[in-house]
Amino acid sequence: MRNTKPAFEKIVPEFGKSLLVKQHNEIVENNLPFWHFHPELELVYVNKGKGKRHIGSHLSYFDNSQLILIGANLPHSGFTDRFTTNGKETLIQFKEAFLGDNFFNIPEMHKVKNLFAKAKKGLLFNIETKQLVGPKIEALITYNGIERIIHFLEILNDLSVATNYSLLNVDGFAFEVEPQDNNKIDIIFSHVRKNFTQHITLDEISEKVSMTVPAFCRYFKKVTGKTFTQFVNEFRIVHATKLLAENPTSINDICFESGFNNFSHFNKLFKKFTGKSPLKYRNEMKQLVGEK
């Protein structure tokens, strides 16, 4: 079974470049975690491909093409299961401050700054925006130096004025972290990822980052906007959404496999987090698979 637990991914652009631009037309097997998060934003354009979207708590399928902007520290998986003839995926990863801490704070960049904020929910753009911006994204790999930056800013401007898009991860699963917090968050996340099916005490997790329990609780709430208990429960729920969509196991078994020891508590939290019961969620996912 493939790894369904998100992990921190460290992204390193090519030497002398502030953007990481990748393009391929076949499934790329590598050692990257299947479900992961990173402080960089990620712009993905799939042209003539089919696959699955798993962004935060959102899971759905696409056919032919998609254009998505994923905000910083929003867990997600790869997007292409297979390409059609002449299919291609282009991916751009960049830090919000890739042009300096204040560039996007100037008045002319206000709309782009708002775009980055909305991307924390995951933005899926409609067909008109795909047709306009898609070819520009694919062409970006042919540029270098300042030309690449100029063309990328044009892409960001086009996306910032687009009005037809969907938010994928509404009230969902993400982290509000600063770059200096990545190491601590990585340690915490890794421990939860390995142990979320068991009870994780505050003493245990605080010790991992060399903090007292009160200090850890204050730090974690400040960085993520959640209590540690809420975070672990949301992690378990997101894990359960994947199992419900991809695994024929009974809902009761999925409850316990996701780290919950009380079925009614699992049902209550699942509905609070996703807006629907586990059974309804599974049935909707089956319909989506059938419509692919």
For the entire predicted model, the pTM comes to 0.64
The dihedral built from the CA positions of residue 170, 175, 178 and 179, taken in this order, carries a sign that is negative
Report how far residue 83's alpha carbon sits from residue 64's, in angstroms, rounded to the nearest whole number: 8
* CATH fold of 7-167: Jelly Rolls (2.60.120)
Burial code of 162-183, b = ≥16 C-beta within 10 A, e = fewer?
beebeebbeebbbbebeeebbe
Query: Above 60 in pLDDT, residue 4?
Result: no
- The predicted-structure confidence for 67-104, as pLDDT tens digits, reads as follows 999 998 787 777 766 666 678 889 999 988 889 889 99
Asked if 28 contacts 46 with a C-beta cutoff of 8 angstroms, the reply is no
What pLDDT, on the 0 to 100 scale, is given for residue 1? 39
What pLDDT, on the 0 to 100 scale, is given for residue 193? 82
For residues 186 and 34, which has the higher predicted lDDT (pLDDT)?
A: 186
Q: Where are the domains of the chain?
A: 7-167, 179-291
Report how far residue 37's alpha carbon sits from residue 133's, in angstroms, rounded to the nearest whole number: 25
What pLDDT, on the 0 to 100 scale, is given for residue 43? 95
268-272 contacts: CB < 8 A, separation 24 or more? 269/233, 269/237, 270/237, 270/240
Query: Above 50 in pLDDT, residue 109?
Result: yes
Mean predicted lDDT score pLDDT of the chain: 82
Q: Which residues contact 152 (CB under 8 A, 6 or more apart)?
A: 19, 92, 94, 140
- The predicted-structure confidence for 151-209, as pLDDT tens digits, reads as follows 999 999 999 999 989 888 766 666 655 555 567 877 887 888 889 999 999 999 999 99
Query: Above 70 in pLDDT, residue 292?
Result: no
For residues 285 and 34, which has the higher predicted lDDT (pLDDT)?
A: 285
- The predicted-structure confidence for 46-61, as pLDDT tens digits, reads as follows 998 877 777 877 777 7
Residue 106: DSSP 8-state: S
The dihedral built from the CA positions of residue 142, 148, 150 and 151, taken in this order, carries a sign that is positive
* DSSP element (H, E) containing 182: helix 182-195
pLDDT, average across residues 104-109: 92
Query: Which residues make beta-bridge pairs with 55?
Result: 58, 76
Burial code of 110-129, b = ≥16 C-beta within 10 A, e = fewer?
eebeebbeebbbbbbbeeeb
Query: Above 60 in pLDDT, residue 121?
Result: yes
Query: Above 70 in pLDDT, residue 26?
Result: no
What pLDDT, on the 0 to 100 scale, is given for residue 85? 65
Within this chain, domains 7-167 and 179-291 share the same CATH topology:
no
CATH of 179-291, one of 1.10.10.60, 1.10.1670.40, 3.40.1160.10, 3.20.20.70: 1.10.10.60
For residues 114 and 76, which has the higher predicted lDDT (pLDDT)?
A: 114
